[in-house]
Amino acid sequence: MDIKSPAQNTTEQYDVVIIGAGPSGSVAASLLAADGMSVLILEKQYFPRFSIGESLLPQCMEFLKEAGLEQALDKYAKEFGFQHKNGAAFHKKGKNSSFDFTEKFSEGRGTTYQVKRGLFDKLLADETEKKGVSIRYGHQVNSVANLEPEVCLDVRDDNEQPYQVKAKFLLDASGFGRVLPRLLDLELPSDFPIRHSYFSHFKDGINCPEFDRDKILITVNPNHSDVWYWLIPFSDGSASVGVVGLPERFDETLPAIDTLQDFIAQDENLQRLLKNATPLQDARVIKGYSADVTKLWGKNFALLGNAGEFLDPVFSSGVTIAMKSASLAAPLVKKQIQGSKVDWESEYAEPLKFGVDTFRCFVEAWYNESFQNVVYHDHHDDSVRRMISSILAGYAWDEKNPYVAKSVRRLNVLAEICQAG
Ligand SMILES: Cc1cc2nc3c(=O)[nH]c(=O)nc-3n(C[C@H](O)[C@H](O)[C@H](O)COP(=O)(O)OP(=O)(O)OC[C@H]3O[C@@H](n4cnc5c(N)ncnc54)[C@H](O)[C@@H]3O)c2cc1C
Residues 275, 223 share a domain: yes
**Closest residue CA from atom 30 of ligand 1:** 175
- Provide the pLDDT for residue 379: 73
In the DSSP assignment, the letter for residue 306 is G
Residue 4 has pLDDT above 90, yes or no: no
Show the domain range for 386.
355-420
Mark which of 322, 351, 380 sits at the end of a domain: 351
- Provide the pLDDT for residue 418: 85
Is residue 25 within 6 Å of ligand 1 at its C-beta? yes
| Domain presence at residue 93 | no
The more confident residue out of 101 and 414 is 101
Residue 145 has pLDDT above 90, yes or no: yes
Looking at the CA of residue 320, tell me the nearest atom of ligand 1.
11
Distance, in Å, from the CA atom of 217 to the CA atom of 55, rounded to the nearest integer, reads 10
**Closest residue CA from atom 50 of ligand 1:** 53
In the DSSP assignment, the letter for residue 10 is S
Other CB atoms within a 10 A radius of the CB of residue 50 amount to 12
CATH number at residue 216: 3.30.9.100
Strands of 76-125 (E only): list them.
Answer: 83-85, 87-92, 95-100, 112-114
| Domain presence at residue 92 | no
CA atoms within 13 A on the CB side of 248: 3
CA distances from 158 to 10, 15, 155, 163 (A): 18, 23, 10, 11
Q: Rounded to the nearest whole angstrom, what is the distance from the C-alpha of residue 74 to the centroid of ligand 1? A: 22
CATH number at residue 15: 3.50.50.60
Contact 166, 150 (CB under 8 A): yes
Residues 315, 274 share a domain: no
For the chain, give me the number of helices (H) and strands (E)? 14, 20
| Domain presence at residue 343 | yes
Number of separate domains in the chain: 3
Distance, in Å, from the CA atom of 348 to the CA atom of 355, rounded to the nearest integer, reads 12
Residues 280, 303 share a domain: no
Residues 410, 330 share a domain: no
- Provide the pLDDT for residue 109: 97
Residues 282, 397 share a domain: no
pLDDT in tens, 368-419: 999 999 998 877 789 999 999 999 999 999 999 999 999 999 999 998 888 8
**Closest residue CA from atom 18 of ligand 1:** 318
Residue type, 86: N
Distance, in Å, from the CA atom of 212 to the CA atom of 232, rounded to the nearest integer, reads 10
- Provide the pLDDT for residue 3: 58
| Domain presence at residue 242 | yes
Mean pLDDT value across residues 200-216: 97
Residues 241, 330 share a domain: no
Mean pLDDT value across residues 132-149: 97
Mean pLDDT value across residues 259-265: 98
Calculate ∠ Cα 409-415-416, nearest 5°.
95
Mark which of 312, 332, 351 sits at the end of a domain: 351
| Domain presence at residue 139 | yes
* Distance, CA of 15 to chain centre: 26
- Provide the pLDDT for residue 186: 98
DSSP letters for 340-356:
----HIIIIIHHHHHHH
| Domain presence at residue 90 | no
Give the SS3 label for residue 238.
Answer: strand
- Provide the pLDDT for residue 50: 96
pLDDT in tens, 289-301: 999 999 999 999 9
Mean pLDDT value across residues 207-211: 95
CA distances from 40 to 67, 123, 190, 214, 376 (A): 16, 17, 31, 36, 47
| Domain presence at residue 102 | no
Within 8 A by CB and 6+ apart from 344, the residues are 296, 297, 302, 332
Residues 135, 52 share a domain: yes
Q: Rounded to the nearest whole angstrom, what is the distance from the C-alpha of residue 237 to the centroid of ligand 1? A: 25
Residues 347, 360 share a domain: no
- Provide the pLDDT for residue 211: 97
> Which of 402, 297, 400, 397 lies closest to 347, judged by CA?
297
This prediction's pTM? 0.97
- Provide the pLDDT for residue 2: 53
In the chain, what is the straight-line distance between the N-terminal and C-terminal CA atoms, in Å?
72
Mean pLDDT value across residues 46-66: 98
Which residue of 85, 176, 296 sits with most ligand 1 atoms within 8 Å of its CB, as the best mutation to test the pocket? Answer: 176
Is residue 114 within 6 Å of ligand 1 at its C-beta? no
Strands of 268-318 (E only): list them.
Answer: 278-279, 284-287, 292-293, 297-298, 301-303
Which residue of 18, 51, 124, 170 sits with most ligand 1 atoms within 8 Å of its CB, as the best mutation to test the pocket? Answer: 51
Is residue 200 within 6 Å of ligand 1 at its C-beta? no
Is residue 355 within 6 Å of ligand 1 at its C-beta? no
- Provide the pLDDT for residue 7: 52
Residues 370, 316 share a domain: no
Distance, in Å, from the CA atom of 94 to the CA atom of 240, rounded to the nearest integer, reads 22
Residue 125 has pLDDT above 60, yes or no: yes
Q: Rounded to the nearest whole angstrom, what is the distance from the C-alpha of residue 86 to the centroid of ligand 1? A: 23
Residues 43, 77 share a domain: yes
pLDDT in tens, 294-350: 999 999 999 999 999 999 999 999 999 999 999 999 999 999 999 999 999 999 999
Q: Rounded to the nearest whole angstrom, what is the distance from the C-alpha of residue 341 to the centroid of ligand 1? A: 30
Contact 239, 205 (CB under 8 A): no
Residues 67, 41 share a domain: yes
Residue 1 has pLDDT above 60, yes or no: no
Residues 366, 319 share a domain: no
> Which of 203, 198, 267, 274 lies closest to 239, judged by CA?
203
| Domain presence at residue 414 | yes
Mark which of 287, 302, 323 sits at the end of a domain: 287
